[in-house]
Amino acid sequence: MPTAHVNGLDLYYERAGAGPPLLFISGTGGDLRNKPNQFDGPLPKAFDMVSYDQRGLGRSDKPDVAYTMADYADDAAALMGALGLEKAHVIGVSFGGMVAQELVLRHPSRVDRLVLACTSPGGAGGASFPFHEIEHLKGEARAKHLMPISDTRRDAAWAAANPELHAQFVAMGASDPFAGEPGREMGARRQLEARAHHDTWDRLGQIEAPTLIAAGRYDGIALPETQERLAGRIKGATLRFFEGGHLFMIQDRTATAAMIAFLKGDLL
């Protein structure tokens, strides 16, 4: 099992593909055991891609201490160092986009080109949906609550008109094959606690890396207006909306292609 010992803990990672180095930072609850994932798409065909389970998640260590967004960013930088990656392109998705913001601010020399997908800056720029406020919701109740937020088109009228599809999405959202593992609930809670304090708004002007803000038009978690503010705060940032909600990278097949083009320096 590939692990790197960084910052006093073991991080589980995977690496695949060939080309320019790319660090992919996953979102809330990200666990590389869940398939399909980022390694099953086109990214490893274009890049030497590394992705990992962040502290508190998956097969990485889960220390029962307070986590900070700086901790997550320093973990990412230390993992790059352990793998011999002085600099890499970075894609951060949702919570991973928050980590990526901290990474480029705390370790600017590590980041070549940057994609921030369905994420938020926090602070005066706007925060993403407060997942820490719905920790009491589990399984189907949580999946049903989040569905019209994740994609604002999937409201009550849509659910009534598409009962079979709605039930399928609820079942997918409620599934957790690794529930009950030691430290799993605690690690997830620690991540949400750190996420609640995310705020890069006043520092975004320091980002020098070429940046693409990628978002779903119907995302109720990372709101479209927040994406516009985020893009306006980062010098020279490009903003692209895609047909989908918070999962637009799955819903709109042009999204990942656009990210690859951006990272390769092609015009969008």
pLDDT in tens, 51-92: 999 999 999 999 999 999 999 999 999 999 999 999 999 999
Which residue blocks in the chain are alpha helix, DSSP H?
A: 43-46, 69-82, 95-106, 139-150, 156-161, 163-174, 184-196, 224-233, 248-251, 254-263
Q: How confident is the model over 259-267, as a mean pLDDT?
A: 91
The rounded distance, in Å, linking the Cα atoms of 121 and 33 is 28
Joined tokens for residue 40: 């099953």
pLDDT in tens, 170-214: 998 888 899 889 999 999 999 999 999 999 999 999 999 999 999
**How high does pLDDT run on average in the chain?**
96
- One-letter amino acid identity for 2? P
The rounded distance, in Å, linking the Cα atoms of 251 and 188 is 26
Whole-structure pTM value: 0.96
- Strand 3-6 and strand 9-16: the pairing is antiparallel
Q: What is the DSSP letter of 131?
A: G
pLDDT (0 to 100) of residue 174: 87
pLDDT (0 to 100) of residue 268: 54
Confidence of residue 267 (pLDDT cuts 50, 70, 90): low
